[in-house]
Each structure stands twice: as C-alpha cells, then as structure tokens.
Structure 1
Amino acid sequence: MDLTQLRCFVAVAEELHFGRAARRLDMLPSALGRHIRRLEDSVGMPLLLRTTRNVTLSQDGAALLDNVRALLAQADVLDQQFRDRGRRRSYVLRVGAIDTAAAGLVPDLLHDFREQHASVTVQLVEDKTVRLLPRLLSGRLDLAFVRPPENLDKRIELLELFHETPVVALPSRHRLAKRRHLTVAALLDQPLIVPDRGSRPHSHDLTMKLFERAGLKPTIAQVAEEKQTIVNLVAAKLGLAIVPRWASRFAVSGVRFIPLTQKETAAPKLLPLAAAWLRGSRDPLRDEMIAILRLRLSRYAARA
C-alpha cells in the first residue's frame, strides 16, 4: 500500500468513474486500474464494485474512505512542511501559464518581481489549463495562470484577473488586412481556424459565441490544438483566426492582428484569465508574486 494507490482510490470513490478519476489525476485509466488492483490485493478485499456501466464503493471501501482521506490530508500537511523548508533554502518559484499568459502577462510580471527578488529562480512551465491544474494539485507547481475551469477542484484557490482582448489574425496580404478594425460580419464565409474544444474550451468558444451573438455561422476550415500552430497556419494562408491579443507576441511573419470593433468587444467577455494556487498552503515567494500582481493588475489588464 502506498500514497499513490490511496489517492487513486479516493479519486475513483469520489468520481465513481475511472475515466474522470484518471483525468483528475493526470494519468491513463489503465495505470489507475493497476493502482486500484494492487491496493485491493494489499488489503485483501474489494474496495470498488465494477460493472460495464458503473462503479460503486463496496461496503469495505465505504468504511475505509474517511480514514483514507484523513491519512492523505496528514500526508499533504507533512509534504507541504518539507517543501516549505526546501523552498527557503533553494529560493525557487515554479510557475505555470497558458500560452498567451506566458507570452504577455508573465514577462511583465517577472520583470516587476525580479526588481524586488533578484535572487529567486523562477521555473516556468507553459501548458494548457487541463494539464496545469493537476500539476498544481500534485505540488509540482506553486502558481498557475489559467482559464477558469467549469468545475474547479475545491482544493484550488482562484483569483480572477481580467479578460483578454480578442483580435483577428489574418495573412498580411489578405484583402481585409488593411482595415483598422473588423466586425464578425466581415469574417462571414472566410475560412476559420479554431482550437480543439476538448483541450481549449474558452478559445474554441470565443469564435463560436462571437458568431452566434452576431446571428451568423462560422466557416470552420481547420482545427488545431496550439495557438502557435494556429498563427502559423494563418501565415500559410490556410485561414483566419480569432485569437487573444497577446498571441501577436508570437511574432510570426506574414500575419497581421486586427482588433474587432468596439461594438464586438463590448459583448460579454469570453477570455477570462485567473491565477490559481493550492488553498490553505503557505508560500512566501508565491504570496509576494501575487501581491505584486494585485498591485499592478490594472496595468497588466490594459495590455491584455
């Protein structure tokens, strides 16, 4: 029996679904199943009852669940204490960010942070929200800049920051490229490149909802997962894309970024950005960075 097996048991017990529990733990369902089987072999009894349709707790599993939760809570406290002691010695802050925050917010924030903490090493991880939050929960990140998920784990503290500004990325020689502003209607019948909704729901819904509010239907020509890839596809003249303004910092030649009209951007905001960290945890370096973020938030927001 080990802590990983116990965490797997609690995740399945709470989700009652191996697929959802595996996503929550950032592991493959097959690996999750192996951990559960080894735990059941170790304790000598079935803890979960499985059918082809559902998963339920066995009587023994239900009896053990609260004790396992308490044990894991104690282990998390001990782990936090060791990490706090190590942090004071090493002066390392681990920060995760989605792509546009890594291109726009993080450089400005790190510049301001280093003015007061020049000796601190900041390790930056760029990834999607769906992958950053499990890293935060497992203690591999201290702070993350993410899109707020639909269902937030109660162990995560979330500070909503601002909404990024949508712009249109188009080839620099496109017939619309000389305009100072664009409307959604101007993009009607234009081939559009959008992110995959499974991994980037906010960015995908940005295009779909702007067209929906305009009473129009977008022409989706291509789906791509990474915004950098999307901008490169625009440069290759494979379509246009509605992206956050900070995507212009990707510096891809042959692409222009044109703002949507004020009427379009006055619509309800669709690109929220938030800071996330473990609820109840203590980290002086992280808290210093959050304090700077709060103090200069209006300046960062004006550039988003």
Structure 2
Amino acid sequence: MDSDAVEIEHLTHVFRARKHAPHIAVDDLSLTVAHGECFGLLGPNGAGKTTTIRLINTLLPVQTGSVRVFGHDVAHHPMAVRALMGYVPQQLSIESALTGRENVEWFARLFDIPRRERRARVDAVLEMMQLTESADRLASTYSGGMVRRLELAQALVNRPALLVLDEPTVGLDPVARDSVWGHVRQMREEFGMTVLLTTHYMEEADMLCDRIAMMNRGRLSALGSPDDLKRAVGPRATLEDVFRHYAGADLNDDSEGGLASVRQGRRTAGRLG
C-alpha cells in the first residue's frame, strides 16, 4: 500500500448532552501514521485518545475534518476501512459463555471470511497466540493474559493491515504484559502490520513506538520519536517526564471524561485480575 496507514486532518469531535455544556473531545487534530509504523497515542485520562480511535475505526461519526485509512475515507467507505482493521478495545470484547475457538470463529463470520478458509484462519491465530491447547475451554476460565491474547486472535483473524490497540495491557501483571507485546512485535515482523496503540505504561510506549503523539484536552501537544521527545524535555528525561511535562495539572483532573476513563479502567482491571 502506497498511502499512509492513517491520515487525520483538522479532526474535531464534540459531545453534546442535554443537561451539560458541550465537551470538545478532539480539537482540530491533524497527524499521519506511516505504513508499517508502530504509533503511540498518549495523554492523560480525558485527553481524547479513545475518541480519536473510535473515529478512526468508524465507531463514531466524523463531525468536522477527515480521517482516511489506507486512502479510504472513514465517513464514505466505512466497510472498506473495517475490512482493513483489527481492534482490541479497552473494554473486554470476549463472550465468556463461548469457548476461545468459538469467540474467534464469531469474529471470522463478522468479517465474512469465506467458509472454506475460516477453520484454517481460526486455527492459525489461535496457534500464534499460543491458545491451541485451551481453545476448546470456556473463555470464562481464561487468565487475564489469556483473555488479552484471545482478543488479539479475534483482531487478527481477518489479517488486518492496521491493528488498533486501546490500553491492551490494562490490569495485567508484568509477565502477561510482556507476552502480549512479544506477540505484537512478532506480528509486525512477520506481516509488516501497522500498529496504533494507546497505553499509560510509558516504558511500553518507549520500547515499542517508532513515533508518539502526546494529546491533552483534545489537542496535539507534541509529536516525534520517543528519543526526540525526551531530548526536548531535558538531557536525562524519561518518557514519563515527557508525559508529565505535557499533561501538567491534568494528571489530577477529575473532569467527567477523565473520571469515566478511570472507572472503566478499574472495571476492566478487576475483570482481568
């Protein structure tokens, strides 16, 4: 593919509630994600990261500006965009009453993978995620790390060109986190996949990302490689220092969007634990 994986131009999204003032979740955002890149979208709770991702993957309608995924406008060609994308959301997306295999097969049907290819595709991603032996167990019996690997299997069954990960390791212990990211690195090396991720673990972003966009209050605060961003803040700065530099007082913000994100994160972490 010759075009950038993601092109965002002057994107603005406003949430309006009857009893509350309008909330600008994304404010005139412009950026690109290159084909084959691992790109991090970072910022404090309520910064607009998840809203941006939901606009990219067509879960929210574009109000102002434009978003293109491999040249396809998400507003005009949403089905073409969805066919190119795999998505692991913050919220758990598995069905605990189904087996691991049945969960992945359900996604294969959603992506309209031909019946003659479906079994082989499902087996391949289960093997890649090291879930073959547990594939016929109920997902309710899986550990937190296995749940996230199952969600990656679901997201990969359609062989996406763009993999979108929204806080995929929230609530996981360090060993499970390392396992998830090891599989993501393997997929990038094998398939040249583009990865767009959000995380609050700065060491993950520093290790994985080719470039990072820092967001705050819906706007782009900084953009560059992890090393460039750290050099700009100070000679011995860490990525956590960069995060604090651009987030500032918003690290303790109890705004509606931030609080909702924290609550959701705690619910997810509790279910993964």
Asked whether the two chains share a fold, i.e. TM above 0.5, the reply is no
- Which of the pair is proportionally richer in helix? 1
Which has the higher relative contact order, 1 or 2, with Cα contacts under 8 A spaced 6 or more apart?
Answer: 2
- Say which one has the larger Rg: 1
- With the shorter chain as reference, the TM-score category is under 0.3
